Amino acid sequence: PIFLEKMTLFNSEHPSKEFQLDGGIHFDTVSDILKTGVNNLVIGSGLFKEPDFNQAFDKFLEAQVR
């Protein structure tokens, strides 16, 4: 997706800057997002819309170490 390319480009042009992504983050996409250099993720509906919050949280933790 184009936003992954834009985040990777931003990080390559500004490696000392920290940046945060808010919105549209799901445990299926978190691993690819972290590879772009994002320093901080704000996860809302990716957790709270899941039927089991604890299970969804665990999936996010697993996804970040892939």
The mean pLDDT value of the chain amounts to 88
Contact 33, 19 (CB under 8 A): no
How much of the chain, in percent, has pLDDT values that exceed 70?
A: 97
DSSP letter (8 states) at residue 56:
H
User: What's the rounded mean pLDDT across residues 9-27?
Assistant: 89
* pLDDT tens digits for range 20-34: 888 888 888 888 888
Q: What is the DSSP annotation of 1-53?
A: -HHHHHHHHHHHH-TT---EEESS--TTTHHHHHHTT--EEE-SHHHHTSS-H
Q: What is the pLDDT of residue 3?
A: 86
pTM: 0.76
User: What's the rounded mean pLDDT across residues 57-63?
Assistant: 88
Contact 44, 26 (CB under 8 A): no
